[in-house]
A = this chain, B = another copy of it.
């Protein structure tokens, strides 16, 4: 089953890639490796602000991570034209905007991790590092970057 079949099954429509309003680009390719910029959580097209353990619950954070994963897949598509050209999702870094006592960053991160496996199958199985940050651009509740490998 192709990545596009799985996306259809999951009823996911990929967004077009967002061009950063800043002096950087959404991704850089080096050899077979794609380095993708940090993507912040959005809801209804705007930054989804808030801290986990304060305004937002773990379930909110997991949904935010899932939303970001969809945006990241949109960027991967722009980077490699056809998602079936992705041989592996290599590494995710998941930053969770955390109140000082919130320790469920790994559960928040699963919102993204699970989608990558649902969409890419074995090729979606990745290494990752999840942790709590003091803040993020626009106060977004979650921010994720990744490294992927192309065929």
A interface residues (Cβ-Cβ under 8 A, vs B) = 22-28, 30-33, 35-38, 49, 88, 90-93, 95, 98-106, 109-110, 113-114, 116-117, 125-139, 143, 145, 147, 149
Contact = CB atoms under 8 A, between A and B. Distances in A.
B131 A136 contact: yes
A63 to B, nearest CB: 15
Nearest to A145: B129
B136 A132 contact: yes
Q: How many identical chains are in the complex?
A: 3
A113 B23 CA distance: 6
A112 to B, nearest CB: 9
Contacts of A38: 128-131
B129 A143 contact: yes
A35 B90 contact: yes
Most chain B beta-carbon neighbours within 10 Å: one of A103, A105, A113, A127? A127
A52 to B, nearest CB: 9
Given A23-B110, A37-B127, A37-B128, A90 B134 contact: no
A68 to B, nearest CB: 12
B130 A137 contact: yes
A133 B133 contact: yes
